[in-house]
Amino acid sequence: GTTTVTAGMVDALVKTHAPLCMKNLHSTLTATGHLKHYGRLQYNLFLKELGLPVEEALVFWRRSFKHITDDKFNKEYRYNIRHGYGLEGRRMNYPAKSCARILTQDQPGPQDSHGCPFRHFSTTNLSSAMAQHYGLSPAEQSEILASVKQGHYHVACTRIFEITHQKQGVKKGQGLDGRGETVTHPNRYFESSWKLAQ
Ligand code: SF4
């Protein structure tokens, strides 16, 4: 992980540094007090890999699931969160999902919030998500939507990284590392953004 993260730091870190897929999961969780199975899976592993320890993850998820009792939380969700950390069942150290896996596995249905917004959202929903989370100009939005139409989801995501880090000196074509690295993993996106802020 990048740093030692507490439950209370997640909101600001995700809003500042996370890619659109994780911002979307976070805002759905915050707004509804819930995430469905694959959304929890995708977000839990992302938070694990960015450095949220399991005790803090349990605090974060307990607080976020604001409409349920402790009893229901402990019975239905605690195990899965700990499982993601390799502390239950087969005790596998599951890696956070890469973009390739998010793009191709467990396709989201209409009620789901997981997946890659560039691939899985309608144009209307993608436009409003970009406006909500990044406040892109109409010209910037058209550029992103053109990449999406061609199926270049990682190009769209990388371009948003560049646009939203202009203040840190990132220029078009420089990508995550200043040398043109494109987005292949949500945690690499996060780490690159976090580094630029140090
Ligand atoms: Fe997330 Fe990858 Fe899609 Fe970007 S390209 S939104 S990091 S899944």
* 49 within some domain: yes
* Residues 192 and 136 placed together within one structural domain of the fold: yes
Is there a single domain that holds both residue 122 and residue 150? Answer: yes
CA 60–ligand 1 middle distance (angstroms): 23
Can you say how many angstroms the Cα of residue 32 is from the centroid of all Cα atoms in its chain? 17
CA distance 70 to 76: 10
Q: Are residues 46 and 83 in the same domain?
A: yes
Pocket test for ligand 1, best of 102, 113, 164 (most atoms within 8 A of CB): 102
ipTM: 0.99
Ligand 1 centroid–CA 157 distance in Å is 6
Are 61 and 128 in the same domain? no
Quick check: CB of 99 below 6 Å from ligand 1? yes
Structural domain includes residue 104: no
Task: Give burial (CB, 10 Å; 0-12/13-18/19+) of 34.
Answer: middle
Domain count, the chain: 2
Task: Identify whether 130 is part of a domain.
Answer: yes
Distance CA 70, CA 188 (A): 34
In whole angstroms, give the CA distance from residue 74 to residue 77. Answer: 6
Residue 129 included in any domain: yes
Tokens read off for 130: 């970009």
CA of 90 to the centre of ligand 1 (A): 28
Among protein residues, the one whose CA lies closest to atom 3 of ligand 1: 116
Please give the chain's pLDDT, 198 residues, in tens.
445 899 999 999 999 999 999 999 999 999 999 999 999 999 999 999 999 999 999 999 999 999 999 999 999 999 999 999 999 988 888 999 999 999 999 999 888 899 999 999 999 999 999 999 998 988 999 999 999 999 999 999 999 999 999 999 999 999 999 999 999 999 999 999 999 999
**144 in the same domain as 62:** no
Q: CA-to-CA distance for 89 and 79, rounded, in angstroms?
A: 9
Quote the domain boundaries for residue 147. Answer: 112-196
Identify whether the C-beta of residue 169 lies closer than 8 Å to the C-beta of residue 178.
Answer: no
Residue 122 in any domain: the answer is yes
Q: Quick one: tokens of 16?
A: 């500042």
